[in-house]
Amino acid sequence: MFDRRTFAQLLAAFGVSAAMPAWAQAKTVDVTMKQSPKMRFLPETVTVKAGDTVKWTNPYNISHTVTFDPAKAADKANAVLPAGVEPFDSGAVEEEGTFSHTFTVKGTYKYVCVYHENMGMIGTVIVS
């Protein structure tokens, strides 16, 4: 029989604390803003858990944006937010610049680089 205490002891035996808070397990997922061979977010789709952070990095000398805002997308279908989530936007991310966002609301998010949306620089974040 597994009562709560036995289960906690079992976890402890494996070095896991049953009392570990959710934030301690949150992770950061990296996305690179690529200019070569094409203007792309890489990976184009990332799947994270609620509470995780996505960090975009621009290693190149062309500015990009991370724009989760249908009002700023050329095609509104390329920038989609789950119901109730406010739009957000990195603004211009220059060479060696980064932008991070912690996702707390589950759902599928689509975003664009406003400079290169028409070249296919579109990404998806799935928060499960």
Can you give the binding site for Cu ion, defined by CB under 5 A? 64, 113, 115-116, 121
Provide the H-helix boundaries in the chain: 4-13, 22-25
Calculate Rg over the CA atoms of the chain. 18
- Taking the complex as a whole, the smallest distance from the CB of residue 18 to Cu ion amounts, in Å, to 44
Copy the structure tokens of residue 24: 């301690």
Q: Which helix (H) or strand (E) holds 26?
A: none
* Choice between 52 and 114, CB closer to Cu ion: 114
Nearest-CB residue for Cu ion: 113
* Choice between 33 and 52, CB closer to Cu ion: 33
* Choice between 110 and 116, CB closer to Cu ion: 116
Nearest CA among 90, 42, 100 for reference residue 69: 90
- Taking the complex as a whole, the smallest distance from the CB of residue 89 to Cu ion amounts, in Å, to 13
CA distance 79 to 105: 16
- Taking the complex as a whole, the smallest distance from the CB of residue 32 to Cu ion amounts, in Å, to 12
